Amino acid sequence: MFVFLPFEVAKYNYLTLKQTETWGIVVRKTHRLATNTTVTGADLKNETLLLPKRGIVRNELKTWLKALPTSTNILGTSNLLGNVTTLARQSGVCLICVKGAFEMFDTSELVFILFALLRHSKHILAWRKNIELSLAAQEFIEFVKNNKL
Domains of the chain: 2-146 (3.40.190.290)
**Rounded Cα–Cα distance for residues 2 and 4 (Å):** 7
Q: Kindly tell me if the per-residue pLDDT of 63 is higher than 80.
A: no
Query: What pLDDT is stored for residue 6 in this prediction?
Result: 61
Give per-residue pLDDT as tens, 4-35: 566 677 788 888 888 888 889 999 999 999 99
Give per-residue pLDDT as tens, 88-111: 888 889 888 888 777 777 778 899
Mean pLDDT, the chain, rounded, equals 81
pTM over 0.85: no
Question: Is there a cis peptide before residue 69, judged by omega within 30 degrees of 0?
Answer: no
